[in-house]
Structure formats: C-alpha cells, structure tokens
Amino acid sequence: MDVFGVFAQFWPELLSGVGITIKLAGLGAIIAGFLAPLLALVRVNGGPAAQVPLRFYISFMRGTPLLAQMFLIYYGSGQFRPFLQDIGLWNFFREPFNCALLAFVMNSTAYQTEILRGGIMGVPHGEIEAGKAVGMSYVMSLRRVVYPHAYRIAWPALGNEIILLIKASALASVVTVFDLMGQTRAIFQKTFDFSVYIWAAVLYLCLTAAFVWIWRRFEHRLSPHIHGKRPSLLGAMTKRETA
C-alpha cells in the first residue's frame, strides 16, 4: 500500500471530487437557508392549515434516512417521466447531481426550520414589545429584532447541521455523483489500493475543519459581547483606583 503514491497519481480526481462535494453541500445549505426562516415563522405563528402539512413534511424528512429520500427522488422520478416531460422538468430530474441536490435541500430545510423555530421562540418577548413601542412594523421587527437574535441563538446548531450535510454528501456517490467519495470509489476500483480511503478521510477532515473555523469567525462577529475579551478583575480594580 503506497499511501503517498496513490495521492500523487490521483490528486486531480480527488480535488475534483472535493469541488463537487463543496458545491453540493454548499448549495444545499444555502438554498435551505433561504427557505427555513419563512417556514420557521410559520411553525411559530402559522394556523392549523399551514402547520399540519409543514409538520408532516418536517417529521418525514427528519424521521427517514437521507439515502432513502435520495433514492425516492432519483429512482422515483423515472416512474413519472411522461408527466415530468410534459411540464418540462425531466431534464432536471435526469441529472444525478440535481436529484441529490434536491434531496439535500429538502432534508436540510426541515432541520434548519426546526433549529430556527427554537431560535425564534428563544427571543425574549420584551425585545419584541420594545420594538413595537418605538414604532417598528411587524416586518421591521422581524428584520431588526427577531431574526438577528434568533440567528445568534441558533448559529452553533446551524453550523452542526451544515457539518452533517458535508459528511452526508458522501451518500451522493450511490446515485453516480462523482463527489469526493464517488471519485474515491472509482479510484479504488482501478487500483484496489485502500489508502485512497485514508486520503478521502483526510480531505473530509480538512473540509469540516475549515468550515468550523469560518463559522466560528462569523459567530464571533454575531456575538462580540460574548466572545470578546472581558476585562480582568485586576484591570477593573486598577481603573477604579486610577479614577
């Protein structure tokens, strides 16, 4: 087993797979990030007519494996090919990447919706009332009070969800998407060199580590009063004595 030799020979394919993994997980998380705030608001304030189908959707997505959801979309869409052709969507569903992306978006939207719901419910009611007292409209209150505070509360959990999405992207290889794991499997079938999986694990680790570092930088910007340096007790005493 030549650990470095297999990487030296196949690094372009592995890096190409990394790019597909980033694209798949990134687009899935971003699109879900645009859908989740509105759905979370419906979960908090919506009526029964909106709540029931939304709760069913979230329960289904969170209660079934992502792999099963991907199979339902990828293989199930073929059962409706005439209908999809009639409405002009077959070209979308015939691409494995699009099917995997749709499964990721639907799955991550369910999780992000519930995470943000908890964040919205964690916003103190007094802050909302204070916004009304200074003349904020409902939409302005959401934009300036509710969502900023909700995201500060939910930010760590949202980061964990995206990390899970990055790692779950390895499932896309089973529907012939040549992401990092797909390229790794193809290389192994050519070489039967197990060390290629070691390199895949290292690259996944680098991806998640880089993401965690970036996410924490944003977290510090969102909550500088929590992550900033607090003055030491000795420094505070010195300032008092000087004053």
Supply 50's token pair.
């909106």
Q: Which of 217, 176, 184, 223 is nearest to 200 (CA)?
A: 184
The mean-pLDDT minimum among 68-77, 88-97, 205-214, 225-234 falls in: 225-234
123 close to 145: Cβ distance less than 8 angstroms: yes
Question: Within 10 A of 118 (CB to CB), how many other CB atoms are there?
Answer: 15
Please determine, for residue 2, whether its predicted confidence score (pLDDT) is greater than 90: no
pLDDT digits (tens, 9 = 90+) for 37-51: 999 999 998 888 988
As a CATH number, domain 3-242 is: 1.10.3720.10
208 close to 167: Cβ distance less than 8 angstroms: yes
The mean-pLDDT minimum among 51-65, 70-84, 150-164, 228-242 falls in: 228-242
Region at 136 (left for phi over 0; alpha for psi -120 to 50; beta for the rest)? beta
Domain boundaries, the chain: 3-242
Cα dist from 53 to 31, 39, 214, whole Å: 20, 11, 35
pLDDT bucket at 236, cuts 50 / 70 / 90 = very low
Q: Is 106 exposed, middle or buried (0-12, 13-18, 19+ CB in 10 A)?
A: buried
Predicted TM-score of the model (pTM): 0.85
pLDDT digits (tens, 9 = 90+) for 70-86: 999 999 888 888 888 98
The whole-angstrom separation of Cα 186 and Cα 4 is 18
